[in-house]
C-alpha cells in the first residue's frame, strides 16, 4: 500500500497514473483529491473552484477512467463557454488518455469545418468536448447521439451564464439520459447556477475549494487610479518597471481596443499581439503558441478570447479596462498564479469605478492594495539596469572584441576621449528608449494627474471645508448672489451652467435632445473616444437639434477635426465655431426676431393681453384661463409627458431661450 502513488490512492488505474507521471503530475490538487473519488463512486458533483486549481484533471481523470474504449459511442460530454477552453480541455484529456489506446476525444465548436466534424462524429468518439451552440446544432441535426451518455460536465458554468448560454444548457441537459452522472464546476455560484444544480443534479456532493478565491492565493493584487487618456502610458511604464515580469496578459473591453493597444505597444518596441474574436481560429491558436514559446511577451485580449488560456509564462495580468463585475475579474486574474505559481494582477481604475473595488474585495476576501504608476525616474532606472545587464552579458560573451578596430577608428576620426565616445554610442543605442529622465519634472503628465488625485482625496470634514473656503476666498472673486447669477439649463447636469473661461472656446454640434443626446453621452464620447479628460470639458448646452460644448483653446485643428469625426447616436459631432442657428439665419431669408427681455416684477404684475390682432379673444372660464380648442384634454401629471408640471413660478424653454413666467397675483 505504501508503494501506491497519491493519484493511485484516489482510485485511478495504473495506466492513468503512469500517464500522469510522464506529464509531471505527482501530487493531486485539493479539488482533484475531493472530486475524483466522488465521481468514480458514481456521485454527482457541484464544485466551486477557480480557474487554475486543477479542475480539468478533477473531472477529466475519472471521465477517462470510466470510458469504455471498446464501445464506439459518446459516453461523456463536456460543455465549455468558449472554443479556446474546449480546445484546451480536449488537449488535456488527450494527454491523460495517452496510456489508454482506443479512446477518441473530439472537440466541436463554431469556426471548424462542419464536414470534418460530421466525419469524426460518424467514426464514434467516446468523449465530446464542445461549446453549447455547436453541441445544440449537432443534436438538432441528429448527428450527435447521447443515448449511451454516462457523464456530462458543465465547466465554468458562471461564464456560460454570463455569455447567455443558460437556456441552451437547460435544453441540452433535457436531451440526456435521466440516469447520467452530472458534474458542474463554477468559479462563483450565482442564483441561476444554483437553480440548475437543484433541478439537474441528484444529491450532489458539494465541493468548495478555499474560502473565496483559491486561485488568487498566490496572486498579488493591486490597483492604480488612472485617467482614461493616461492608461496606455501607465501600462507601458508598468511593463518596463514591474519586477519578474516574464509574460503579460492585458484585458481590454472591445475587439477594436485590443488591436489599438497592441499596435501602440508594438510601436514602443514590445513583442505583442492582439487576441480577439475577429481573428481566425488558427491565428488565435498561433498567438497563444507564440506567447507560450516566448516569441511574444504581451497579448492584449478580450474576456471571451482569453477564456481557457493556460500559459505558464504569464506572470502578470493587467486589467486595462475594468471588468463589468467582480466575477469577471476573478476569471481574468485566474490566467496567472496557476497551480501554485506566483502571479501579479493590476487593475486600472477610473475614479468613478471605485465601487467595483469593494465588490472584488468582498468576493475574493482579499484586499486589493493601491499602487502608484511609476514616474519617469523609476522608468529611467529600470532601463539603466536592463542596459547594464545587457552590456555585462555582451562583455562576458567576448563578442564585443570584434568591434575593437572600429572603436579605435572612431576615436582617431572624432578626436575625442573614450568616455565621450562611449556616451555617444550609448545615446545612439538608446535613442528610442532614453536612459535618462527629463530634466523638467513638470513634463510628466502622470505626475500632474497624481497631484490632482491627491488634491481630490483631501479630507472632507469640517476643517477641510474651512481650509477650502479660506483658499477660495483668497484666490477667487466674490460669488454672485442668487439674483445676479445667470440662469442655467433647467433640469440639466451641472456642466450645462456656469460661465465660460477665457481659456475655453465654444464649439457647436448638430446633435441635440431630439436625437436622444444628453450631456453624459457628449462627455463620454469626448473622453472615451476623443482622449480628452473630464477637466478639458467645460460648459455643455443642449438644444433640440444642436448642442454646444466649451473646450480648451489650446486644441489644435487636427484634434478638433478628429473629435468632429466621433459618432454619437449615429451622428457625427462635426465641431464648428458657428452656431447652427446663426448659420441658418445667414443661409436663409432675413427674418425679424424679438429681443430677449428680462421680465421685471412690475411687468409680471401687470394684466396680460389675451387677444392678438386679427384674432378674436378666446372665452375664459371662471378662473380667468383661456379656453382653447384642447382645453377639454387633461394635463399630464408631474413626471409624465414632457416633464414635471410647473408650479406657481416656472421656467419654460422655447427654441433654446429660457422664458420666466410668474402667475399674476
Reported as a single tens digit per residue, the pLDDT across 623-635 is 444 445 444 444 4
- Residue 475 located in a structural domain: no
Q: What is the pLDDT of residue 474?
A: 43
Q: What is the pLDDT of residue 339?
A: 57
* Residues 504 and 536 grouped into a single domain: yes
Cα–Cα distances (Å) from 366 to 31, 64, 123, 242, in that order, read 21, 36, 49, 21
Which CATH number belongs to the domain containing residue 505 in this structure?
3.30.70.330
Q: What is the pLDDT of residue 3?
A: 61
- Residue 60 located in a structural domain: yes
Mean pLDDT lowest among 16-25, 417-426, 429-438: 429-438
Q: What is the pLDDT of residue 594?
A: 45
Q: What is the pLDDT of residue 597?
A: 45
More confident residue, 107 or 341: 107
Share of the chain above pLDDT 70, in %: 73
Q: What is the pLDDT of residue 587?
A: 47
- Look at the chain and report how many structural domains it folds into: 4
In the predicted structure, residue 444 carries a pLDDT above the cut 80: no
Number of other residues whose CB lies within 10 A of the CB of residue 330: 22
Reported as a single tens digit per residue, the pLDDT across 610-657 is 444 444 555 555 444 444 544 444 444 444 444 444 444 444 444 444
- Residue 156 located in a structural domain: yes
Measure the CA–CA gap between 395 and 389, rounded to whole angstroms: 10
- Residue 653 located in a structural domain: no
Measure the CA–CA gap between 367 and 220, rounded to whole angstroms: 10
Reported as a single tens digit per residue, the pLDDT across 227-239 is 888 999 999 999 9
In the predicted structure, residue 167 carries a pLDDT above the cut 80: yes
In the predicted structure, residue 49 carries a pLDDT above the cut 60: yes
- Residue 118 located in a structural domain: yes
Q: Which letter does DSSP use for residue 168 in this model?
A: H
Max CA distance (Å), the chain: 112
- Tell the burial category of 583 from Cβ atoms under 10 Å away from its Cβ (0-12, 13-18, 19+): middle
The helix (H) or strand (E) run that includes residue 182 is strand 181-186
Measure the CA–CA gap between 377 and 389, rounded to whole angstroms: 18
- Residue 104 located in a structural domain: yes
* Residues 173 and 258 grouped into a single domain: no
Confidence of residue 5 (pLDDT cuts 50, 70, 90): confident
* Residues 180 and 222 grouped into a single domain: no
In the predicted structure, residue 220 carries a pLDDT above the cut 60: yes
More confident residue, 585 or 539: 539
Neighbouring residues of 641: CB distance < 8 A, sequence distance ≥ 6: none
Average pLDDT, the chain: 78
Torsions phi, psi for 620 (to 5 deg): -115, 155
Q: What is the pLDDT of residue 631?
A: 47
* Averaged pLDDT, 543-549: 87
- Residue 429 located in a structural domain: yes
Cα–Cα distances (Å) from 71 to 102, 378, 430, in that order, read 9, 63, 65
DSSP per-residue codes, 358-423: HHHHHHH-S--EE-PPP-HHHHHHHHHHHHHHHHHHHHHHTGGGGGHHHHHHHHHHHT--HHHHHH
Estimate the crossing angle of helix 355-364 against helix 326-333, to 10 degrees: 60
Domain boundary among 542, 567, 587: 587
Estimate the crossing angle of helix 132-141 against helix 166-174, to 10 degrees: 40
Measure the CA–CA gap between 44 and 206, rounded to whole angstroms: 9
Q: What is the pLDDT of residue 263?
A: 92
Confidence of residue 665 (pLDDT cuts 50, 70, 90): very low
Measure the CA–CA gap between 571 and 546, rounded to whole angstroms: 11
Measure the CA–CA gap between 493 and 559, rounded to whole angstroms: 26
Number of other residues whose CB lies within 10 A of the CB of residue 165: 21
The sheet with strand 247-251 has its strands ordered as 272-275, 298-301, 247-251, 314-319, 343-349, 219-225, 369-370
* Residues 346 and 386 grouped into a single domain: no
Q: What is the pLDDT of residue 379?
A: 87
Measure the CA–CA gap between 511 and 513, rounded to whole angstroms: 7
Mean pLDDT lowest among 53-67, 281-295, 639-653: 639-653
* Residues 220 and 131 grouped into a single domain: no
Q: What is the pLDDT of residue 445?
A: 64
Which CATH number belongs to the domain containing residue 48 in this structure?
3.40.50.300
Reported as a single tens digit per residue, the pLDDT across 318-331 is 999 998 888 788 88
In the predicted structure, residue 130 carries a pLDDT above the cut 90: yes
* Residues 286 and 258 grouped into a single domain: yes
* Averaged pLDDT, 445-458: 52
Q: What is the pLDDT of residue 439?
A: 65
Confidence of residue 173 (pLDDT cuts 50, 70, 90): very high
Reported as a single tens digit per residue, the pLDDT across 494-506 is 444 444 555 788 8
311, 337, 256, 446 alpha-carbon torsion, rounded to 10°: -130
Domain boundary among 174, 208, 242: 208
Alpha helix ranges (H) inside 41-113: 55-65, 83-96
* Residues 290 and 356 grouped into a single domain: yes
Confidence of residue 134 (pLDDT cuts 50, 70, 90): very high
* Residues 236 and 323 grouped into a single domain: yes
More confident residue, 338 or 292: 292
In the predicted structure, residue 343 carries a pLDDT above the cut 50: yes
In the predicted structure, residue 602 carries a pLDDT above the cut 70: no
* Residues 110 and 24 grouped into a single domain: yes
Domain that holds residue 383: 376-393+418-439
* Residues 45 and 192 grouped into a single domain: yes
In the predicted structure, residue 208 carries a pLDDT above the cut 90: no
Q: What is the pLDDT of residue 650?
A: 43
More confident residue, 458 or 438: 438
- Residue 153 located in a structural domain: yes
- And the C-alpha cell for 441? 519634472
Q: What is the pLDDT of residue 500?
A: 52
- And the C-alpha cell for 277? 474574436
Estimate the crossing angle of helix 55-65 against helix 30-40, to 10 degrees: 30
* Residues 521 and 564 grouped into a single domain: yes
Q: What is the pLDDT of residue 537?
A: 84
Q: What is the pLDDT of residue 489?
A: 37
Estimate the crossing angle of helix 55-65 against helix 83-96, to 10 degrees: 50
Cross-strand bridge partners of residue 247: 314
* Residues 309 and 370 grouped into a single domain: yes
Confidence of residue 340 (pLDDT cuts 50, 70, 90): low
Domain boundary among 149, 176, 208: 208
* Averaged pLDDT, 244-256: 93
Confidence of residue 210 (pLDDT cuts 50, 70, 90): low
Amino acid at each position: 500500500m505504501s508503494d501506491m502513488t497519491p493519484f493511485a490512492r484516489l482510485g485511478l488505474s495504473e495506466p492513468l497514473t503512469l500517464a500522469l507521471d510522464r506529464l509531471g503530475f505527482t501530487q493531486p490538487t485539493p479539488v482533484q483529491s475531493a472530486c475524483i473519488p466522488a465521481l468514480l463512486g458514481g456521485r454527482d458533483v457541484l464544485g466551486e473552484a477557480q480557474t487554475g486549481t486543477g479542475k480539468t484533471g478533477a473531472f477529466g481523470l475519472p471521465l477517462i477512467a470510466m470510458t469504455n474504449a471498446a464501445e464506439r459511442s459518446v459516453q461523456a460530454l463536456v460543455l465549455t463557454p468558449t472554443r479556446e477552453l474546449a480546445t484546451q480541455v480536449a488537449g488535456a484529456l488527450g494527454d491523460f488518455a495517452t496510456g489508454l489506446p482506443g479512446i477518441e476525444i473530439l472537440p466541436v465548436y463554431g469556426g471548424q469545418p462542419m464536414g470534418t466534424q460530421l466525419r469524426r462524429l460518424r467514426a464514434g468518439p467516446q468523449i465530446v468536448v464542445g461549446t453549447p451552440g455547436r453541441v445544440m446544432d449537432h443534436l438538432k441535426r441528429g448527428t450527435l447521439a447521447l443515448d449511451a451518455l454516462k457523464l456530462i460536465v458543465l465547466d465554468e458554468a458562471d461564464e456560460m451564464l454570463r455569455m447567455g448560454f443558460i437556456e441552451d444548457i437547460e435544453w441540452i441537459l433535457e436531451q440526456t439520459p435521466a440516469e447520467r452522472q452530472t458534474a458542474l464546476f463554477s468559479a462563483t455560484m450565482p442564483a441561476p447556477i444554483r437553480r440548475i444544480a437543484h433541478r439537474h443534479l441528484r444529491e450532489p456532493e458539494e465541493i468548495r475549494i478555499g474560502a473565496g478565491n483559491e486561485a488568487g492565493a498566490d496572486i498579488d493584487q493591486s490597483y492604480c487610479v488612472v485617467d482614461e487618456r493616461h492608461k496606455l502610458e501607465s501600462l507601458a511604464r508598468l511593463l518596463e518597471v514591474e519586477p519578474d515580469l516574464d509574460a503579460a496578459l492585458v484585458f481590454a473591453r472591445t475587439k477594436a481596443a485590443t488591436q489599438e493597444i497592441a499596435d501602440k505597444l508594438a510601436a514602443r518596441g514590445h513583442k505583442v499581439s492582439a487576441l480577439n474574436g475577429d481573428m481566425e481560429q488558427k491565428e488565435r491558436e498561433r498567438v497563444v503558441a507564440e506567447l507560450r514559446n516566448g516569441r511574444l511577451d504581451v497579448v492584449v485580449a478580450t474576456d471571451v478570447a482569453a477564456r481557457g488560456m493556460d500559459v505558464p509564462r504569464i506572470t502578470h495580468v493587467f486589467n486595462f479596462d475594468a471588468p463589468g463585475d467582480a466575477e469577471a475579474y476573478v476569471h481574468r486574474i485566474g490566467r496567472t498564479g496557476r497551480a501554485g505559481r506566483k502571479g501579479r494582477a493590476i487593475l486600472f481604475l477610473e475614479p468613478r469605478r471605485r465601487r467595483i473595488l469593494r465588490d472584488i474585495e468582498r468576493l475574493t476576501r482579499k484586499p486589493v492594495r493601491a499602487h502608484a504608476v511609476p514616474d519617469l525616474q523609476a522608468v529611467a532606472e529600470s532601463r539603466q539596469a536592463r542596459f547594464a545587464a545587457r552590456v555585462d552579458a555582451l562583455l562576458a560573451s567576448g563578442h564585443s572584441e570584434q568591434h575593437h578596430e572600429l572603436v579605435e577608428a572612431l576615436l582617431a576620426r572624432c578626436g575625442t576621449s573614450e568616455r565621450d565616445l562611449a556616451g555617444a554610442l550609448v545615446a545612439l543605442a538608446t535613442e528610442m528608449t532614453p536612459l535618462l529622465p527629463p530634466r523638467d519634472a513638470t513634463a510628466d503628465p502622470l505626475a500632474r494627474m497624481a497631484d490632482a488625485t491627491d488634491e481630490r482625496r483631501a479630507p472632507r470634514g469640517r476643517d477641510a471645508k474651512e481650509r477650502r473656503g479660506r483658499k477660495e476666498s483668497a484666490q477667487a472673486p466674490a460669488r454672485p448672489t442668487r439674483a445676479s447669477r445667470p440662469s442655467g439649463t433647467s433640469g440639466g447636469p451641472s456642466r450645462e451652467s456656469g460661465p465660460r473661461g477665457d481659456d475655453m472656446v465654444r464649439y457647436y454640434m448638430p446633435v441635440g435632445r431630439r436625437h436622444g443626446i444628453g450631456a453624459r453621452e457628449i462627455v463620454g464620447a469626448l473622453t472615451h473616444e476623443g482622449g480628452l479628460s473630464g477637466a478639458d470639458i467645460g460648459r455643455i448646452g443642449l438644444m433640440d437639434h444642436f448642442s454646444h460644448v466649451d473646450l480648451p483653446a489650446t486644441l489644435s485643428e487636427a484634434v478638433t477635426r478628429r473629435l468632429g469625426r466621433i459618432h454619437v447616436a449615429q451622428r457625427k459631432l462635426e465641431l464648428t465655431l458657428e452656431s447652427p442657428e446663426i448659420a441658418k439665419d445667414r443661409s436663409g431669408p432675413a427674418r425679424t426676431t424679438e429681443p430677449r427681455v428680462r421680465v421685471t416684477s412690475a411687468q409680471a404684475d401687470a394684466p396680460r393681453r389675451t387677444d392678438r390682432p386679427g384674432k378674436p379673444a378666446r372665452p375664459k372660464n371662471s378662473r380667468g384661463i383661456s379656453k382653447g380648442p384642447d382645453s377639454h384634454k387633461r394635463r399630464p401629471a408631474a413626471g409624465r409627458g414632457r416633464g414635471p408640471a410647473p408650479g406657481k413660478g416656472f421656467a419654460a424653454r422655447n427654441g433654446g431661450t429660457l422664458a420666466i413666467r410668474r402667475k399674476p397675483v
